[in-house]
């Protein structure tokens, strides 16, 4: 998208401002290898976390170290630091930093026809530099993808969102897409879950999770920050004006953004035992191509921040994120786990009151003043569903999913055989959140993503899916209805099938079957000559206008921000909301909830390996249904794994995929079979 395309879009928006399959089981217990049974315990305690935070002195040190490295490299940069829940603590713009941001594949990569976000060229203004938005997204990515058990960088993100995993030139031997394919379109600036910066202050000013200006970043130059083994924030750097990703895992890059950010982490670097390069997710993950031995400036020799601020550059306010309407100052982070952070442990009173699950390890999202933002409640979709989910049903599903998570072996966490840690969301058929709960140290990104996943499967399983897409004002979005019908059959989006998020992901890849080079694209994807991680298909088309509106707001081209609701689909009956208020997600970890043959909601999971996410959703729902007897899985006959797509000899979609021998307390195998 050129500046002309971008300007035109701003003008328009100003006016519109495998499969677990199988039949049901009568048992609510899990079979063990010895023929006995194991009843899921009420809780298995999680390791304690300590409340840590960056001080303003810490942030100044991080900034000074990064600024000195940038100066030594002759790469004037924009540098951002956030806390763990996404509050922006400082943004520094060096003199001479680039003022135009280009979002595209690197020039040396294959040609891609510019479509939606791919090819976007964002010029700066006298009031704002678009690199600030990219630097903030990088910092948030480092903070949000990480935890006390894993440290992921934006280079890690790059590795796991591309069309092949691992990403290599020439197709990587027909490997499928990355495990978190599509996660870059989460934490969106329009998300209704993400809290927004409050310029006027007040009790909710620093609660999280906060949004990211461009979603999550896959451009190297973003790292998490740690204190005493706990993630406390992230740093993001932009010095070249090109917001891209790394297409080749086999070489070692010399990336100035990454080196500048690495210098900033000195003294706040991730424990070496949990960095991504120590973690296997099918293959060994990547953390950084930059190494401390090749820094141009010794971090400990950095001058004071006070001597750098005002001489080599200055703190820069960012509309909607930092110091808006005030003189910029370096801020302290909010300790994660406190009421002020917006994410904390449940209280005994909340547990006894029934508005949260009855588990002392549970964490919830709060408003900064003590109130649970997403208390357990019954379905609000009575205008469309004869018998909506009850609060008791929602509570049963959330509690049983939490138990499955507590027993599951984490895929992306160290030390080995740690428990999985995730966020769990349950919604009704209209996308209203009926309860959200987290484990203590689940990565923050999974909060928004779990809700996206639940909404995605409820949407695609809903009889109104086709009509909602056709009522979207974008002809591009409307066109995906016909593509789905031509690819599968006309009844695809009319409620005839129950879709898991793995099913939706199958259809949203630039090759179908996933990863097989030379095959046609899935009907929810762009053709490969138009596809990129910035232009994935329906996922990105739904929120293109939101991103354009928001970038215009950040840069001062508009005084109106994008609404706190993604996509421009029609409102559901009687509500000022649509079904996809924070966008869709296209990797596994969600299933719809049924009452007999009737769709009544969905459960979404995010925060660990995608097979673990799938299993926690599937078995959490199954066990919740067994416990309360009135709800359960989609009938096997309508699950998406009954769809055989006429490609080649025929390709069956997947519904969910559960890991082999996944539990820490039993040696059970094939735990999802027959359910």
pLDDT, tens digit (0-9, with 9 covering 90-100), for 38-63 = 344 444 679 888 999 999 999 999 99
Q: What is the mean pLDDT of the chain?
A: 91
pLDDT for res 202? 66
| Residues 346 and 332 placed together within one structural domain of the fold | no
Nearest partner of 364 among 393, 341, 397, 380, judged by Cα:
341
| Residues 140 and 154 placed together within one structural domain of the fold | yes
Residue 495 lies in a domain: no
Q: Does 35 score more than 50 pLDDT?
A: no
Which residue in this structure is represented by tokens 């204190």? Answer: 227
Return the structure tokens found at 182: 């599509």
Highest mean pLDDT among 104-118, 201-215, 389-403, 485-499: 389-403
Q: Which of 156-165, 203-212, 305-314, 639-648 has the lowest mean pLDDT?
A: 203-212
pLDDT for res 517? 87
pLDDT tens digits for range 602-631: 999 999 999 999 999 999 999 999 999 999
pLDDT for res 51? 93
| Residues 329 and 386 placed together within one structural domain of the fold | no
Residue 477 lies in a domain: no
357 touches 399 (CB < 8 A): yes
pLDDT for res 41? 46
Q: Which domain holds residue 275?
A: 56-337
| Residues 212 and 357 placed together within one structural domain of the fold | no
| Residues 66 and 121 placed together within one structural domain of the fold | yes
| Residues 449 and 431 placed together within one structural domain of the fold | yes
Give the pLDDT mean for 435-451.
98
Q: Indicate the Cα dihedral angle 391, 396, 399, 401, nearest 10°.
A: -120
| Residues 43 and 79 placed together within one structural domain of the fold | no
Residue 517 lies in a domain: no
pLDDT for res 28? 32
Q: Does 133 score more than 80 pLDDT?
A: yes
pLDDT for res 185? 98
Residue 209 lies in a domain: yes
Give the pLDDT mean for 435-462.
98
Q: Answer with the one of 280, 308, 337 that is the final residue of a domain.
A: 337
Q: How far is Cα 62 from Cα 57, in angstroms, rounded to an integer?
A: 9
For residue 221, report the phi and psi dihedrals to the nearest 5 degrees: 130, 15
Residue 98 lies in a domain: yes
| Residues 266 and 410 placed together within one structural domain of the fold | no
| Residues 95 and 236 placed together within one structural domain of the fold | yes
User: Number of structural domains, the chain?
Assistant: 2
Q: Does 282 score more than 60 pLDDT?
A: yes
Residue 476 lies in a domain: no
pLDDT for res 21? 40
Q: How confident is the model at residue 170 (pLDDT cuts 50, 70, 90)?
A: low
Q: How far is Cα 288 from Cα 221, in angstroms, rounded to an integer?
A: 9
Give the pLDDT mean for 64-87.
98
pLDDT for res 108? 65
* Cβ neighbourhood burial of 349 (10 Å; 0-12, 13-18, 19+): exposed
Residue 509 lies in a domain: no
| Residues 158 and 229 placed together within one structural domain of the fold | yes
Q: Answer with the one of 337, 360, 388 that is the final residue of a domain.
A: 337
Stated as kind and residue range, the H or E segment containing 405 is helix 391-407
Q: What distances in angstroms separate CA 443 from CA 85, 142, 404, 439, one per listed residue? A: 10, 10, 18, 9
Q: Answer with the one of 299, 315, 337 that is the final residue of a domain.
A: 337
pLDDT for res 172? 57
Q: How confident is the model at residue 539 (pLDDT cuts 50, 70, 90)?
A: very high
| Residues 276 and 160 placed together within one structural domain of the fold | yes
Predicted model pTM: 0.94
Q: Does 192 score more than 90 pLDDT?
A: yes
| Residues 311 and 351 placed together within one structural domain of the fold | no
Residue 187 lies in a domain: yes
pLDDT for res 173? 65
- Residues 62-92, buried b or exposed e (16+ Cβ, 10 A)? bbbbbbbbbbbbebbbbbbbbbbbbbbbbbb
Question: CATH number of the domain that 234 lies in?
Answer: 3.30.450.150
pLDDT for res 247? 86
């Amino acid at each position: 998208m050129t500046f002309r395309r971008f300007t035109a879009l701003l003008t328009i928006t100003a006016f519109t401002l495998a499969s677990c399959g199988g039949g049901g089981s009568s048992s609510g217990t899990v079979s063990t290898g010895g023929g006995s049974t194991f009843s899921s315990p009420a809780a298995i305690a999680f390791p304690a976390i300590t409340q840590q935070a960056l001080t303003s002195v810490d942030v100044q040190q991080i900034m000074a170290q990064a600024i000195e490295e940038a100066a030594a490299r002759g790469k004037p940069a924009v540098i951002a630091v956030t806390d763990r829940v996404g509050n922006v603590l400082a943004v520094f713009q060096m003199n001479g930093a680039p003022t135009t941001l280009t979002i595209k594949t690197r020039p040396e990569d294959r040609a891609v026809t510019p479509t939606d976000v791919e090819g976007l060229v964002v010029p700066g203004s006298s009031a704002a530099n678009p690199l600030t938005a990219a630097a903030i997204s990088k910092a948030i990515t480092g903070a949000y993808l990480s935890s006390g058990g894993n440290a992921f960088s934006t280079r890690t993100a790059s590795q796991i969102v591309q069309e092949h995993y691992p990403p290599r030139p020439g197709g990587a031997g027909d490997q499928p897409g990355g495990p978190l394919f599509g996660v870059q379109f989460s934490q969106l600036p329009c998300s209704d879950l993400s809290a927004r910066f409050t310029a006027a202050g007040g009790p909710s000013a620093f609660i999280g999770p906060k949004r990211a200006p461009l979603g999550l970043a896959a451009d190297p130059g973003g790292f998490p920050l740690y204190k005493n083994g706990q993630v406390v924030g992230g740093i993001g750097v932009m010095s070249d004006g090109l917001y891209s990703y790394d297409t080749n895992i086999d070489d070692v890059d010399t990336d100035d953004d990454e080196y500048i950010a690495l210098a900033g982490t000195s003294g706040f670097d991730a424990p070496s035992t949990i960095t991504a390069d120590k973690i296997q997710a099918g293959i060994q993950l990547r953390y950084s191509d930059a190494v401390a031995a090749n820094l141009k400036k010794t971090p400990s020799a950095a001058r004071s921040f006070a001597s750098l601020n005002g001489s080599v550059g200055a703190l820069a306010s960012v509309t909607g994120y930092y110091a808006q309407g005030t003189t910029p100052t370096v801020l302290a982070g909010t300790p994660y786990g406190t009421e002020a952070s917006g994410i904390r442990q449940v209280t005994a009173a909340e547990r006894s009151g029934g508005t949260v699950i009855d588990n002392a390890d549970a964490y919830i999202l709060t408003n900064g003043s003590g109130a649970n933002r997403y208390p357990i409640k019954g379905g609000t979709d009575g205008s469309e569903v004869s018998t909506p989910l009850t609060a008791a049903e929602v509570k049963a599903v959330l509690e049983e999913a939490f138990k499955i998570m507590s027993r599951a072996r984490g895929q992306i966490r160290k030390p080995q055989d740690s428990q999985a840690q995730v966020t769990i969301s349950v919604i009704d058929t209209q996308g209203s959140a009926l309860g959200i709960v987290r484990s203590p140290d689940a990565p923050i990104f999974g909060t928004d993503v779990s809700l996206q996943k639940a909404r995605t499967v409820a949407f695609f399983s809903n009889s109104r899916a086709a009509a909602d897409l056709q009522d979207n004002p974008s002809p591009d979005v409307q066109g995906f209805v016909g593509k789905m019908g031509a690819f599968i059959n006309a009844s695809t989006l009319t409620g005839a099938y129950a879709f898991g998020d793995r099913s939706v992901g199958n259809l949203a890849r630039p090759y179908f079957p996933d990863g097989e080079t030379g095959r046609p694209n899935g009907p929810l994807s762009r053709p490969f000559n138009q596809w990129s991680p910035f232009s994935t298909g329906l996922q990105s088309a739904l929120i293109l206008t939101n991103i354009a509106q928001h970038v215009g707001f950040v840069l001062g081209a508009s005084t109106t921000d994008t609404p706190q609701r993604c996509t421009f689909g029609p409102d559901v009956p009687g509500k000022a909301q649509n079904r996809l208020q924070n966008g869709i997600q296209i990797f596994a970890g969600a299933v719809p909830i049924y009452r007999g043959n009737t769709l009544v909601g969905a459960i979404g999971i995010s925060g660990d390996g995608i097979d673990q996410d799938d299993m926690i959703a599937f078995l959490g729902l199954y066990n919740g249904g067994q416990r309360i007897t009135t709800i359960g899985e989609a009938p096997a006959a309508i699950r998406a794994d009954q769809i055989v797509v006429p490609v080649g000899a025929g390709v069956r979609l997947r519904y969910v995929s559960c890991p082999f021998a996944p539990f820490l307390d039993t040696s059970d195998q094939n735990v999802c079979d027959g359910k």
